[in-house]
Amino acid sequence: HLLFKGTPKRTTARAISEAIEGVGGILNGGTDKELTLYWCKVAQPHFELALDVLADMLLHSKFDPQDIEKERQIIIEEINMSKDSPAQRVDMLIDGLLWPKHPLGRDIAGSKESVAAITRDTMLDYRQGQYLTNNTVVTIAGNIQHQQMVTAVSQALGNWTNQRERSGHSAYREQPAQRLHVETKDTEQAHLCLALPGLSLFHPKRFTLDLLNVILGGGMGSRLFTEIRDKLGLAYSIH
DSSP characters for 122-190? HHHHHHHHHS-GGG------SS--HHHHHHHHHHHHTT---SS------------S----------SS-
Helix (H) or strand (E) holding 117: helix 112-117
pLDDT tens, position by position, 56-110 = 999 999 999 999 999 999 999 999 988 888 888 999 999 999 888 888 899 999 9
Residue 75 CA to residue 57 CA, distance in Å, equals 20
pLDDT at 124 over 90: yes
Residue 21 CA to residue 41 CA, distance in Å, equals 10
Q: Count Cβ neighbours within 10 Å for each residue of 92-111 and write b for 16 or more, e otherwise.
A: bbbbbebbeebeebbbbbbe
Residue 221 CA to residue 229 CA, distance in Å, equals 11
| Percent helix, strand and coil across the chain, each to the nearest 5 | 50, 5, 45
pLDDT at 183 over 70: yes
pLDDT at 156 over 90: yes
Domains in the chain, please, with CATH?
2-157 (3.30.830.10), 198-239 (no CATH)
Q: What is the mean pLDDT of the chain?
A: 91
pLDDT at 19 over 80: yes
E strands along the chain, which residues?
Answer: 26-31, 36-41
What is the pLDDT, as a whole number, of residue 168? 67
Task: Find all residues with CB under 8 Å of 124, minimum gap 6, and list them.
Answer: 63
- Percentage of residues in the chain having pLDDT higher than 90: 65
pLDDT at 176 over 90: no
Residue 122 CA to residue 114 CA, distance in Å, equals 11
